[in-house]
Amino acid sequence: MKQEFLRYRLASQRMIVGALQWFAGVGLLAGMSQPWMGQAAAGGLALMMLIAVIVRIQIRDSLLQTIPALFYLALNAYLCLAGF
């Protein structure tokens, strides 16, 4: 993972990105009993994945390398908008 963040030119943000992803994962689990929490967490993850797609475009990754970020962007946007 360290090498990937160096490639993305985001090495200094690695810990904050990991922490945000961890908290969002907990928020998705909490969404099973409190739907608004799940929607908020999914919205945050969708925003993160949108930024990830933009970063991958900027560093000129191939479409094949960008597809996972696009998939998770779509999945989290759906969870955010459709609810739990």
The pLDDT score that the predictor gives to residue 20 is 97
Residue 2: per-residue pLDDT: 86
Q: Which of 13, 45, 12, 1 is nearest to 26 (CA)?
A: 45
Helix (H, G, I), strand (E, B) or coil at 26: helix
| pLDDT number for residue 84 | 66
Predicted TM-score (pTM) of the model is: 0.90
Tokens 């475009």 found at:
57
Tell me how far CA of residue 58 lies from CA of 18, 26, 65, 74, 83, in angstroms. Answer: 21, 30, 13, 20, 31
Rg (CA), the chain: 14
pLDDT in tens, the chain (84 residues): 888 888 888 899 999 999 999 999 999 999 999 999 999 999 999 999 999 999 999 999 999 999 999 999 999 999 999 986
b/e per residue, 19-46, with b = 16+ CB within 10 A? Answer: eeeeebeebbebbeeeeebbbbbbbbbb
